A and B are shown apart, each in its own frame.
Chain A
């Protein structure tokens, strides 16, 4: 047996052979039965030195596994893509995770807006005529008997979460309170407060403004 080859085999057994040499020797090892027998004896030597008691030092397990594997199909063509480097193929994982999380968050926000905007609008649309409607109508309030229960909210698309300016709404509530029942009035005031608290941070108007406006005569 070639001494250089045996020396390489010993180094390969210890995972100390350069990768290029490993490739060549692995190919030979898998085909050369004598070389494989030597490789198996190297394993037995190591097991004896480590005093791996209880285990048999012949190759009974290997023989049984070999027999079982001989009936198994070959793995050719089924292996996953070889891992080519420490970072390649991994960098996208956190990015993709972040993108998915951002997409879910964006979709949730959009969904919530779609859910809340028409509902808030409907509450107001059913109960709240706009200030312009009141003023334009002039004495329309007096002829409210003939007016349907719902009012039309201008279709102008709001650019902010609150679809109705709080001040305008407050003025409307005051105006409306003259003609509405106490229960309806209280509901409207609750809606106004919710709307106010939602837009307090971004809206230009404060609660004081609303209260002032509410107190002012219409």
Chain B
């Protein structure tokens, strides 16, 4: 199985003018990209801004994407370059003196906290998502938990998981799906639980 076949089918749709397909790609990779960018900037809010900029650059450059490499590899390079440029331009910008803080590192951390505190519902939701997913994983039967963890944490393919768990590939696919369904059932309740942000996932 090609490692990038589903991404490529979405990419082809975007190249034909389907913006909804790009939305699916963003939904899939937003967390990974923010985590990647946070290697360069410690402030989560700034990382989100850079990730957003990288996605927009990727959308504009998508007509030149030919599928020679995996979509995420290509996106990864764009994000890295965007992050590096952001760091360079930030370093060139005038220094804001703050008598209460001594190091720039502290300054960035504080900026992050201040910016996050502006959207407390985002933090609350994130915490709730985390605890719900973790609780749901703990409640999974052993075979389902192993399958989903091998896939998501270790990044193994279905074939590799099948070899590790000594079962057919079809069984792996079914176990991972059932694990996701079980977790998603509880996660949906969080999103529909009154925070009013359900539509933001869709």
Identify the A interface with B (CB < 8 A): 6-7, 10-19, 22-23, 25-27, 29-31, 33-34, 36-50, 52-66, 68-70, 72, 74-83
Contact = CB atoms under 8 A, between A and B. Distances in A.
A93 B176 CA distance: 43
Interface string B1-37: 1111111011011111111111110111111111100
B153 A49 contact: yes
Contacts, number: 237
Interface residues of B, number: 82
A76 B16 contact: yes
Instruction: State the main secondary structure of chain B at its contact with A.
Output: helix
A22 B9 contact: yes
B28 A15 contact: no
B168 interface: no
Nearest to B60: A72
Contacts of A62: 23, 26-27, 30, 200-201
B198 A83 contact: no
A15 B184 contact: no
B114 interface: no
Contact of B24 (A14, A17, A30, A53): A30
Interface of B: 1-7, 9-10, 12-24, 26-35, 38, 44, 47-48, 51-52, 55-56, 59-60, 62-68, 119, 122-123, 125-126, 129-130, 133-134, 137, 148-149, 151-153, 157-158, 173-174, 176-177, 180-181, 183-184, 187-188, 191, 197-198, 200-202
Nearest to B172: A16
A49 B28 contact: no
B125 to A, nearest CB: 5
A44 B202 contact: no
